[in-house]
Amino acid sequence: MTARVLYAGAPARWDEYRPALARALEQAGVDCVLGDDLPADEVDYIVYAPNGPVSDFTPFTRLKAVLSLWAGVDTVAGNRTLTVPLARMVDHGLTRGMIEWVTGHTLRHHLGMDRYIHGLGGDWQPAYPPLAEERGVTVLGLGALGRACAETLAGLGFRVTGWSRSAKTIPGLTCLHGEAGLAEALASAEILVLLLPNTPETENTLNATTLAQLPEGAVILNPGRGRLIDDEALLAALDSGHVGHATLDTFRVEPLPRAHRYWSHPRVTVTPHVAAETRLRTSSEVIAENVRRAEAGEPLLHLVDRSAGY
């Protein structure tokens, strides 16, 4: 049977995705028609992104699965018109990009690079940072991205603690889980990395209470989602100096409004949701493999647990 695959990602990227998806589907041995404007009642699979044209899945009467190009599925997981399996993106290129962003910003703060980048003004004052093995880093979220970042940081020598919903054992990491493990995970977080999904349970994971559990002067990196943080509580902790710096890549409202205090706060670095990007070739291969699996009656990769929201 010929599978009908609708591209419903960002329209501006169709010209790039058309050849990449076509090649990956062919290499996966999938017999298919690929398009960006197929009749809804003929579509078997939707290649989906939140910045694409589809938000109501009702017209897609023979749909078999929705395959997200994005790792974060917070805007679609709760969509009531979606009644078929939803797979999210776990992509080699995306993971490598996140490792690089997290490692770069961790090393910036660990080494105190700002002091030299801003300039010593002729004031010769050596100040040695501790070794990584003397620095506690905590990663909230030990999924595809969090675990890869945590393992890389541990490989550099950092004392890494990871926190997740379910219990885990990962060599080289101290693993904590559940509500009971959060305070302990935060207590050792001189640098804290947020790589949780946005779900009803994770909203405001960082609030006035949990921010107070961080060590004095802790640094926060948030490439996860803006809603993980109570912004007013973070701004208060930054104002007081209890939080030494926040490097934020994700925000409740994106683009971050021009008047937002994060833009001008001296202890905040804003990056415009660039931590990690789904990569054309590798993501197309993941999509093609899932179409192949679905057509062969095999289980899909990276299925979203709709009740958990990720």
Active site (catalytic) residues: 225, 273
Q: In sequence order, which residues have a C-beta less than 8 Å from that of residue 123 and are 6 or more positions away?
A: none
- From 104-112, 125-133, 159-167, 252-260, span contacting ligand NAP (CB under 6 A): 159-167
Query: At 284, which helix (H) or strand (E)?
Result: helix 280-296
Task: For residue 49, state whether it binds ligand NAP (rule: CB under 6 A).
Answer: no
Task: For residue 52, state whether it binds ligand NAP (rule: CB under 6 A).
Answer: no
Out of 52, 65, 68, 72, the residue judged to bind ligand NAP by CB under 6 A: 72
Eight-state DSSP code of residue 126: -
In whole angstroms, give the CA distance from residue 267 to residue 264.
9
Which amino acid belongs to residue 96? R
Task: For residue 166, state whether it binds ligand NAP (rule: CB under 6 A).
Answer: yes
Nearer to ligand NAP, 17 or 70 (CB): 70
Task: For residue 284, state whether it binds ligand NAP (rule: CB under 6 A).
Answer: no
Nearer to ligand NAP, 31 or 305 (CB): 305
Task: For residue 273, state whether it binds ligand NAP (rule: CB under 6 A).
Answer: yes
Torsion of CA 153, 217, 112, 192, to 10 degrees: 20
The structure tokens listed for 226 are 């803006």
Q: For residue 137, what are the β-bridge partners?
A: 160, 191
Instruction: Give residues 223-242 in contact with ligand NAP (rule: CB under 6 A).
Output: 223-225
Q: Is 218 in contact with 190 (CB distance < 8 Å)?
A: yes
Nearer to ligand NAP, 225 or 245 (CB): 225
Task: For residue 170, state whether it binds ligand NAP (rule: CB under 6 A).
Answer: no
- Coil/strand/helix, residue 86: strand
Task: For residue 251, state whether it binds ligand NAP (rule: CB under 6 A).
Answer: no
Q: Is 86 in contact with 77 (CB distance < 8 Å)?
A: yes
Residues that bind ligand NAP (CB under 6 A): 71-72, 90, 94, 141-146, 164-166, 195-199, 201-202, 223-225, 249-250, 273, 275-276, 310
